[in-house]
Amino acid sequence: MTARSQIPPAHGSLRPDTVVVAGGRPAPEHDAPVGPSIVLTSTYRGSGGLDPADRAYGRYSNPTWEDVEDVLARLEGAERPGLLYASGLAAVASVLSLVPAGGRVVMPRHSYQGSLALAADLVSRGLLTTTAVDVADTEEVVAALDGADLLWLESPTNPMLEVADLPALLAAARERGVLTCVDNTFATPLVQRPLDHGADVVVHSVTKYLAGHSDVVLGAAVTSDAGLRARLKGHRSLHGAVPGPFEAWLALRGMRTLALRIERSMATAGELARRLREHPAVAQVRYPGLPGDPGHERAAAQMDGFGSVLAVVPVGDVAAAEAVVQSLRVWTPATSLGGVESLVERRRRHHEEPHSVPETLLRLSVGIENVEDLWEDLDRALSGIDR
């Protein structure tokens, strides 16, 4: 087996945009491969008593996962390796398993619909209760924390792009002994590091920006707390929510360009938001990077950028919104986000989406295409010009 991949200790203070390139590589030895290998095995050699550090079996550990987990920990500023899961929702399920039977979870009313659906399923089976809050209303969230077991946060939220006051909310939860988890999928650790603000756990849909090429389904959880990590890892192993080595390797390869992709897509998203705000066929644009957006000042204070997702409400009814989507040629009509290609979707086509999300709201995931091509395609579709 090859030597454990890692960033050399002498370079442990590298900046995030270097970590995504340098992390998870083989040890720097003569004739070592530059890139990591894919380790395909279901079990490992061993005899006698088992040491807790032993890999032992393929459901517990894999060197290819560990390469990704090491990079994620360094990006999020965690003191312990991350945990890679078979999907983002598997990571969400693992964190929710930390809530005691009958416990209460405080969640944003606007969140990833998979998280909301999973929580609703647990509620229907009497395993926990939930309190929905407007995550942008700090006083409302803090008031809901008394007696809660977990504060679940998204910021910016999916798909409404509301921005939470992370430092204030995480501090309030800590004072009350409430466990906290932040879904950092939209921002990525290059833009926001919730552990630095006091979060106990951070989760990601690695499927999205981290892998970045719309070709894998993976999730991750990251924490600095040894006890929490052990419980999460135990849940992953026992419930079989483990990733495949091929997917892990593809995710790490995708992460090599994360900084470049985020830089390009955020710059384009900001430009498109400014133009869309002035378009006569657009009723509303939500993007934290716009001065005047309800989340702008908060995002500017706690983030290193504003993300690459826009929420756009076109003028007209649902049929008009669908016509815009169907008229686009450069933008791809599809769910998900964070890939190199720009995606668009009317979110209420999903029955699980909260009814407080406007029926006509279009979520735009900005990719890395030329900004003028993306704009011309949007302008033509919004103007009802079929050519």
What confidence tens digit (pLDDT) does each residue in 273-312 have? 999 999 999 999 999 999 999 999 999 999 999 999 999 9
Residues forming the active site: 59, 112, 183, 208
pLDDT for res 352:
87
Q: Check if the beta carbon of residue 64 is closer than 8 Å to that of residue 248.
A: yes
Q: What is the pLDDT of residue 66?
A: 96
Q: What is the pLDDT of residue 52?
A: 82
Write down the architecture of domain 13-255 according to CATH. 3-Layer(aba) Sandwich (3.40)
Q: Give the separation between CA 321 and CA 52, rounded to whole angstroms.
A: 55
Dist CA 31 CA 139 (whole Å): 58
DSSP 8-state secondary structure symbol assigned to residue 38: P
Of 288, 359, 363, the closest CA to residue 332 belongs to: 363
Per-residue pLDDT at 334 = 97
What ranges make up the beta strands (E) of 158-300?
Answer: 179-183, 201-205, 219-222, 282-286
**Which residue numbers in the chain have pLDDT < 50?**
1-3, 5, 8-11, 386-387
Please give the Cα distance from 171 to 197 (Å, whole number): 8
* Contact by Cβ (8 Å): 84, 246: no
CATH 3.90.1150.10 fits 258-382, yes or no: yes
| Exposure on the CB side of residue 164, measured as CA atoms within 13 A | 36
Residues 204, 6: Cα–Cα separation, whole Å: 21
Distance CA 167, CA 352 (A): 30
Question: Which residues, 6 or more positions from 188, have their beta carbon under 8 angstroms from its beta carbon?
Answer: 204, 209, 210, 258, 262
CATH 3.90.1150.10 residue ranges of the chain are 258-382
| pLDDT at residue 12, as a whole number | 58
How far is residue 23's CA from residue 45's CA, in Å, rounded to a whole number?
27
pTM for this prediction: 0.95
Please count the other Cβ atoms lying within 10 Å of the Cβ belonging to residue 15: 9
* CA dihedral (142, 148, 154, 157) positive or negative: negative
